[in-house]
Chain A
Amino acid sequence: MNSLEVRNLRKSFGAQEVVCGVDLEVAPGECFGLLGPNGAGKTTTLRLCLGLSDPDAGEIRLLGHPVPDRAREARAQVGVVPQFDSLDPDFSVAENLVVYGRYFGLKDQAVAPRIPELLEFAGLAGRADAKIQTLSGGMKRRLTLARALVNDPKMLFLDEPTTGLDPQARHLIWERLRRLAQEGRTLVLTTHFMEEAERLCNRVAIMDRGRIIVHGSPRELIAQHIEPQVVEVHGPGLEAWLAGARALVQRTELAGDTVFCYAGDVEPLIASLRKQSDLRYLHRPANLEDLFLKLTGRDLRD
């Protein structure tokens, strides 16, 4: 049985359909990434899966429970890390965990012995009595992650878990999420950091304008849709050079003053670039972000 099964999910706000026939399957123990630009419908899809909003059409089964009808039973076995900080500012670190446990019907005596372990996991050992206002953004996010584990969930939903964090804080969250996956928990996360999805997820789906455009493992998707090598070029002599260099690559994309050259073999291109003192370039393997931009376009989404 899949941990999450979604069939033909639809949801409109007024006249605008924001989720337009989404199908999803997440197997137990999998780390699944739902990617997409702002406004793609990721958060709405998560809310529907958790039974926090009623779909207009479609079927959802979360850990075997039909949602929204039996969402309460499903959510009892799920942990959620929301996009925005929702820790209780009036409580200490430990109180945040105890009070949250009560919402799962857990007795204070049942949660109290687990607090040191949860804080250890969150890198907040010894901070049980700290006030929330004294925590950094990264610490708050880790505490939110610990809070989502208070019921020892089989499955976790994380909505943009590292948005707004510095690199150190982000790497620590990634390490912890990998540990949770190793423990056999199913993870579903939304993100627009492609690097994050590539590092963590066994499988990703790219969503745009309410639809899933592609899904698969990050490596398969890159291999399927994108040439393996990328050279980014910019500088004053770009146009003149590009006229002659276009034949050396399979595909180019212009974004602002930078040209992205995609090819299987970029040696001839690099040789030509070495002769151009007025151009700067960066050679790297293709990644999920290239795929993402190819599929969703380079236009801003505000």
Chain B
Amino acid sequence: MTRYYALPALSLRSVAVWRRHFLVWKKLAIPSILGNLADPLIVLFGLGYGLGAALGETGGTSYFGFLAGGFMASTTMYAATFESLFSAYSRMHVQKTWEAIVNAPMTLEDVLAGEWAWAATKALAAGVCILIIVAVTGNASFPLALAAIPVTVLIGLAFAALGLSVNAVASGYDFFSYYMTLLLTPMMMLSGVFFPLERLPETVQAVSRALPLYHGVELTRPLLAGIWPANALLHVAVLAAYAIAGFYLATILTRRRLLK
């Protein structure tokens, strides 16, 4: 019988998959990095300075400073999501890259683990680009702000795992709109990216605390400001739980799709 539910057996072979994706990325590195810098620049300056001028202080800091942490976390989330949805789907379904790889002595788990690590790498790259912008505008307090870098990897792993699970049940690119519009966009509004969570009703706040992005924001924002986050261990544990449970789910769903 097909062993859909067995725990994923991770192996170092998946490094070869990561290296494949890295080689593709290297060919398009310059436009990719420019995009990683330009997108947050536009939003941070537009909202941060523009809207910030109207809002004044938010959460005890300038609005730009407040937004920086939330936006770094949410951009990281989107970077991992795009890679694990659209790019992974292209490789799985359109280009048949996964099929080619598993014809070699590689397993589906090797492929998934490579995708997972790669999407987290893209999240890391996006996060570092934002950190540079935030630092240049004088809104990051070093050295503690550097601790936000490993947090981007953790957020990346959590959302890449969820993205790969959605990818495994996708019927086409359009399918991803459901996930993006119905889950990620509301999540961004409920996770304290643009405004402090205290503005929301108590029951809504309870929902927020179950969302992975909320925990990412709660870690990133204080770290950029040079403050050790309250309940840091809890936030890390929730993100890690999403990452690990999500990857297990992605493994099961992908096996069901491809090991028939």
Contacts and interface: CB of A to CB of B under 8 A. Distances in A.
A82 interface: yes
Contacts of A87: 100
Contacts of A103: 13, 16, 101, 104-106
A25 interface: no
Given A53-B260, A104-B105, A88 B99 contact: no
Interface stretch (A94-102, A134-142, A206-214): A94-102
Interface stretch (A73-81, A121-129, A185-193, A281-289): A73-81
A241 interface: no
B103 A88 contact: no
B101 A91 contact: no
Contacts of A105: 13, 16, 105
B13 A54 contact: no
Given A99-B19, A100-B104, A104-B104, 12 more contacts: A54-B2, A56-B1, A75-B104, A82-B99, A86-B96, A86-B97, A86-B99, A90-B24, A99-B23, A100-B100, A102-B19, A103-B106
Nearest to A75: B105
Interface of B: 1-3, 13, 16, 19-20, 23-24, 27, 95-97, 99-107, 259-260
A85 interface: yes
Contacts of B27: 90
A13 B257 CA distance: 12
B162 to A, nearest CB: 26
Contacts of A13: 260
A86 B100 CA distance: 6
A85 B100 CA distance: 9
B259 A54 contact: yes
A223 interface: no
A98 to B, nearest CB: 9
B105 A82 contact: no
A52 B259 contact: yes
A84 B27 CA distance: 25
A170 interface: no
A80 B100 CA distance: 8
Nearest to B12: A105
B107 A99 contact: no
A93 to B, nearest CB: 14
A72 interface: yes
Contact of B100 (A53, A82, A151): A82
A102 B16 contact: yes
A118 interface: no
B105 A73 contact: yes
Interface in A43-64: 50, 52-54, 56
Contacts of B16: 99, 102-103, 105
B20 A88 contact: yes
Given A82-B96, A85-B96, A102-B16, A75 B103 contact: yes
Nearest to A88: B97
Between A50, A76, A95, A102, the greatest number of chain B beta carbons within 10 A of the residue's beta carbon is seen for A102
Between A88, A103, A147, A151, the greatest number of chain B beta carbons within 10 A of the residue's beta carbon is seen for A103
B14 to A, nearest CB: 10
A235 interface: no
Contact of B3 (A54, A76, A82, A89): A54
A76 B103 CA distance: 9
8 nearest interchain CB pairs? A103-B104, A86-B96, A80-B103, A86-B100, A102-B16, A76-B105, A54-B2, A75-B105
B93 to A, nearest CB: 11
A54 B4 CA distance: 10
A95 B260 CA distance: 31
Contacts of B1: 54, 56
B20 A82 contact: no
Contacts of B100: 82, 86-88, 100, 147
Given A72-B107, A82-B96, A102-B19, A52 B102 contact: yes
Contacts of A102: 16, 19-20
Contacts of A75: 103-105
Interface in A118-174: 147, 151
A80 B103 CA distance: 6
A82 B95 contact: no
A99 B100 CA distance: 11
A210 to B, nearest CB: 15
Contacts of A50: 103
A49 to B, nearest CB: 12
B28 to A, nearest CB: 8
Nearest to B17: A103
